[in-house]
């Protein structure tokens, strides 16, 4: 896990354990788009047969999450915030979140070599 987490952190993403009642349940990844939009990714192991301490399981869930990022949904959620709407046109938002997903997808591919 250390090499995987090191590579993720070198890409500018911080990782925090998520625990409930002293049990590791997943990880919170604090990410940002190039435009500065903070996006928290929660890699949730609850209700799965996967082990949060298993590197392959982490990579699988992280990859699944990245593949399932819905750019339209992300923009729609963020546009509920008045300051976001003032800072980003729809065109800028699409470019920003498209680049974000592409960057995360490249990271996922690079983790396969570890």
Q: Which conformational region is residue 8 in: left (phi greater than 0), alpha (psi within -120 to 50 degrees), or beta?
A: alpha
- Specify the pTM: 0.94
Burial of 12 (C-beta count, 10 Å sphere; 0-12/13-18/19+) = exposed
Q: Is 26 helix (H, G, I), strand (E, B) or coil?
A: strand
Domain span including residue 76: 2-111
- As for how many domains the chain has, the answer is 1
End-to-end CA distance of the chain: 10
Residue 7 structure tokens: 């590579």
Tens digit of pLDDT at every position of the chain (114 positions): 999 999 999 999 999 999 999 999 999 999 999 999 999 999 999 999 999 999 999 999 999 999 999 999 999 999 999 999 999 999 999 999 999 999 999 999 999 998
């Amino acid at each position: 896990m250390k090499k995987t987490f090191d590579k993720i952190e070198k890409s500018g993403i911080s990782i925090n354990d998520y625990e409930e009642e002293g049990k590791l349940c997943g990880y919170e990844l604090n990410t940002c788009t190039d435009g500065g939009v903070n996006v928290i990714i929660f890699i949730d192991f609850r209700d799965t047969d996967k082990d949060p301490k298993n590197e392959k399981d982490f990579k699988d869930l992280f990859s699944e999450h990245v593949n399932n990022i819905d750019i339209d949904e992300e923009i729609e959620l963020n546009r509920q915030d008045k300051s976001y709407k003032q800072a980003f046109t729809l065109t800028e938002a699409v470019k920003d979140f498209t680049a974000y997903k592409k960057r995360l997808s490249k990271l996922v591919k690079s983790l396969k070599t570890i």
